């Protein structure tokens, strides 16, 4: 965007974009659930024994919170790569 031609800047921008995408997906989850949609990774949900129905009913159980935490942790890992 600014004419910067640096592989390290490109790499950092890539990780920032990934982190932002993950956070946007998490922030939009309540909105999507009201429309009967779940866009979270099912492999992480299955790891914690959470179904799409758990999100659609907006259950606040520990395993649902653990799914959110694991996904948010992925965003944090991308930010750590940038630092």
pLDDT digits (tens, 9 = 90+) for 38-74: 999 999 999 999 999 999 998 888 999 999 999 999 9
Residue 37 domain boundaries: 7-81
Q: Does residue 2 form part of some domain?
A: no
Q: Does residue 25 form part of some domain?
A: yes
* pTM: predicted TM-score of the whole model, two decimal places: 0.83
Q: Does residue 1 form part of some domain?
A: no
Q: What is the mean pLDDT of residues 26-32?
A: 95
What average pLDDT does the structure give for the chain? 92
Per the structure block, which two tokens stand in for 25? 């997906």
Q: Does residue 67 form part of some domain?
A: yes
Q: Does residue 19 form part of some domain?
A: yes
- pLDDT range class, residue 1, cuts 50, 70, 90: low
Per the structure block, which two tokens stand in for 40? 């979270």
What per-residue confidence (pLDDT) applies to 69? Answer: 97
How many independent structural domains does the chain possess? 1
CB atoms within 10 A of CB 4: 9
């Amino acid at each position: 965007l600014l004419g910067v031609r640096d592989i390290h800047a490109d790499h950092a921008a890539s990780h920032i974009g990934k982190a932002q995408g993950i956070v946007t997906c998490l922030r939009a989850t309540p909105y999507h659930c009201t429309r009967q949609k779940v866009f979270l990774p099912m492999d992480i949900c299955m790891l914690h024994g959470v179904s799409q129905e758990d999100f659609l009913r907006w259950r606040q159980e520990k395993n649902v919170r653990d799914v959110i935490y694991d996904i948010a942790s992925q965003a944090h890992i991308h930010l750590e790569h940038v630092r």
